[in-house]
């Protein structure tokens, strides 16, 4: 059984992909991911408890993270070659919003997996493109 003192983590791939980056864009993504992760943990606890609080704060933090990811990727790439990734991020963000409104914990968890994967994929792609990914 997980320790109740340990909060769940919803964006492990994104935070790992942004890592301890030395560039401003990746640091912005990491900071927004940490804020979104805290909001997700709070919202998750509310969902499990049958409450409806915390949803708007989470949606705001996810939007901030999506915006930071867009900025890191660059407007040109985000609208052209990255458009598939942009759609994946937006669709997953929308799924999370729907799950929060419906109070659907299973959908919430599943949607977060997709969101985390979509954002982390963008970060890894950009870091590879910029030659900043270390092995």
pLDDT tens-place string over residues 31-85: 999 999 999 999 998 888 887 777 899 999 999 999 999 999 999 999 999 999 9
pLDDT tier, 129 (very low <50, low <70, confident <90, very high otherwise): confident
33 located within any domain: yes
User: Does residue 12 sit within a domain?
Assistant: no
- Is the confidence at residue 135, as pLDDT, over 50? no
HSE value, Cβ hemisphere, 13 Å, CA-based, for 135:
2
8 domain residue, yes or no: no
Say if 16 falls within a structural domain.
Answer: no
Domain count, the chain: 1
11 domain-assigned: no
pLDDT digits (tens, 9 = 90+) for 6-29: 667 999 999 999 987 778 999 999
Domain that holds residue 96: 22-130
3-state secondary structure the chain: CCCCCCCCCCCHHHHHHHCCCCCHHHHHHHHHHHHHHHHHHHHHHHHHHCCCCCHHHHHHHHHHHHHHHHHHHCHHHHHCCCHHHHHHHHHHHHHHHHHHHHCCHHHHHHHHHHHHHHHHHHHHHHHHHHCCCCC
Confidence of residue 1 (pLDDT cuts 50, 70, 90): very low
* Burial class of 33 by CB neighbour count within 10 A (0 to 12, 13 to 18, 19+): buried
Would residue 3 count as lying in a domain? no
Cα(40)–Cα(3) distance, integer angstroms = 18
Residue 74 within any structural domain of the chain: yes
In a domain, 125, yes or no: yes
* pLDDT level of residue 4 (50, 70, 90 thresholds): very low
């Amino acid at each position: 059984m997980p320790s109740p003192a340990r909060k769940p983590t919803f964006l492990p791939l994104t935070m790992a992909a942004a890592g301890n980056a030395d560039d401003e864009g990746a640091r912005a993504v990491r900071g927004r991911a940490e804020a979104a992760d805290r909001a997700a943990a709070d919202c998750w606890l509310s969902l499990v408890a049958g409450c409806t609080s915390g949803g708007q704060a989470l949606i705001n933090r996810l939007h901030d993270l999506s915006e930071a990811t867009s900025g890191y990727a660059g407007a040109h790439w985000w609208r052209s070659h990255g458009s598939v990734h942009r759609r994946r991020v937006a669709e997953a963000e929308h799924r999370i919003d729907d799950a929060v409104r419906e109070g659907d914990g299973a959908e919430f968890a599943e949607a977060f997996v997709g969101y985390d994967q979509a954002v982390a994929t963008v970060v890894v792609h950009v870091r590879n493109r910029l030659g900043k990914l270390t092995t």
